[in-house]
Amino acid sequence: MWEYLSPVHPEGGINLPFLFTTSFAIGIVVVWRRYVDMQSRAVPFTWPAPEPSFLNWTSVNIRSPALTSHSVDPSLLPPNHIQGKKYITCFDPSNGLHIATIPADAEIDINIKIDAAKHAFESWKTSSFQARKRVIRSLLAWIVREREMLARVCCRDTGKTMIDAALGEILTTCSKMEWLLAQGEAALRPSKRTTPMLLIHKTAKVYYEPMGVVAAIVSWNYPLHNVLSPIIASLLAGNTIVVKCSEYVAWSSTYFVGAVRECLTACGWDPDVVQLVVCYPEEAEALTTSPDIKHITFIGSETVGKKVAQAATVNLTPVVLELGGKDPAIILPNTNLEQYASLWMRGVFQANGQNCIGIERFIVPVELHDRFLDIMESRIRKLRSGSVLTSSEEGYVSVVDNGSMISNARFEELERLIKAAERDGAEIVCGGERWQHAYHEDGAYFEPTLIGHANENMEIAQTEVFAPIMLVIPYDTIDEAISIANGSRYGLGASVWGPDQRECVSVGRLLECGMVSVNDFGVFYLNQDLPFGGVKASGYGRFGGPEGLRGLTNPKAVVEDRFPWLVQTSIPKTLDYPVRSLVQS
């Protein structure tokens, strides 16, 4: 029979059976690969760009804008508004332009959405990884195609810059999607476990099964990423999800989730797999206490996080909390300050300081302290604040380094903390106050601030400011620097900088936090193969990486016979119930 495995016939000439068999096999492989490719490739869909996302879009200017501005000016309400129903006023915080006024969900609305997600779970939980990844791949293709428009949507709703949107929204979201597509399925595949000698005739596996309807309550600082990140992870895990967005980004979140639902429809799935809740905090308990919610991911403040965790105890719902941070950057002796100055500026002023892993404390050797202040001051004083979605009559767009804050609600508290630090001996090198923009009187701007000669006992050194404030604390010894870094009640992220990488890693290992970057800023989040989360008052649990993905499933241990036809567990007669006698047993 071996002659048929050769392309040459034993008697000479071409071996036709061999060529036919080979061609047939190749054809099957090609057809199968083409079929798999067709079932996996991204499905194109359209979701029109919203008008407020365009440059120089104009609207009514709200004086002293707030979420409830419609109660002061009823003209901001939609024409078909319902008496007695709550609404949320959406506005551009960089200039006060009215974007929309959106109905706020009541408890009954939230329950309806949870129920819809519960019914959609029955079909979604049986979906294949191929189908789930196709939805994610379709979303990724849409984001890449519409990246500039999506960045403008984020800028309009938060007042951030296009660079901040590109780095913090588009890049991070695409990175997470690419990791889920490449590694997510492997993380959720059944994993084999070892068995002891006593169970040598058994095999053990852990299956990661969908939980059901999960919830995500997310913050406003990265509206695209914070909404999509829990959605895509939950979808790959086989769950349906209800996302509760921040009221401050209700408009953009509604747009983003609408696109996800459109994508699900285009891929042939029920759009009710993903739900969005837009409500005020007092109604959110309908979500956190629902018996149909099987897991909660919370991203926000420590105060609200504690309330969420307490509410979740009603049904013993597991919770992942990502709360505040007071991330330190320890600069070791002999560090080249000019080499890392740009990274430090990005670490503080990205998203105008409204970044959970932003650098809030620079712990600097006393001999480098003054030089550090000089380098930073020369840069900070040149920062320009404004709106990136406004251009001149000639069409020129102003160069903006810092956008606006999300609102001016915390300005008084920030000014109090800064003045208290000054009274306690700190030096306010520059900034320190709210700032009035010449052309955007109703914009929420705070001066980029540099504070030197601070110490760890100051209130500002222990409070998360979440603002464009660079705080510098001098130290004498490395042990003191580690003590200062660990002296905060928070423990989210940290960074260590110096010429000796081994020393940096050694110092980083001694820090009480969830993540550390060495000679870099925030890269532990760009690597989506890593778990994200903190310790102490920064929360507990992790999202991201295999740990976070598996956390959205029910691990089920299954033990079965290795050779059921050969050997199975049996009970010796002396141990069998009922036991014959005490002597025999």
What does the pLDDT read at residue 34?
A: 64
Confidence band for 2, pLDDT divided at 50, 70 and 90: very low
pLDDT per residue over 534-573, tens digit each?
999 999 999 999 999 999 999 999 999 999 999 999 998 8
Q: pTM for the full model?
A: 0.92
Beta carbons within 8 Å of 178's beta carbon, 6+ residues apart: 140, 528
pLDDT per residue over 386-433, tens digit each?
999 987 666 666 789 999 999 999 999 999 999 999 999 999 999 999
What percentage of the chain reaches a pLDDT higher than 90? 88
Does the annotation count 356 as an active-site position?
yes
Does the annotation count 322 as an active-site position?
yes
| Letter string b/e over residues 405-437, b meaning 16 or more CB atoms within 10 A of that residue's CB | bbbbebbeebeebbeebbeeebebbbbbeeeeb
pLDDT per residue over 48-106, tens digit each?
999 999 998 999 999 999 999 999 999 999 999 999 999 999 999 999 999 999 999 99
Integer Cα distance of 105 and 87 in angstroms = 8
Given a cut of 70, is residue 36 above it in pLDDT? no
Q: Label the pairing between strands 445-446 and 319-322.
A: unpaired
Q: Which of 90, 263, 356, 513 is catalytic?
A: 356
Integer Cα distance of 7 and 241 in angstroms = 57
Which tokens is 488 given?
A: 């905060």
What does the pLDDT read at residue 39?
A: 61
Confidence band for 207, pLDDT divided at 50, 70 and 90: very high
What does the pLDDT read at residue 574?
A: 84
Q: Which of 146, 247, 283, 322 is catalytic?
A: 322
Integer Cα distance of 244 and 313 in angstroms = 19
What does the pLDDT read at residue 98?
A: 98
DSSP string, 347-416: HHHGGGG--TTS--EEEEEHHHHHHHHHHHHHHHTT--B--TT-B-TTSPBPP-SB---S-STTHHHHHH
Could you tell me the maximum CA-CA distance found in the chain, to the nearest angstrom? 103
What spatial distance separates the first Cα and last Cα of the chain, rounded to whole Å? 63
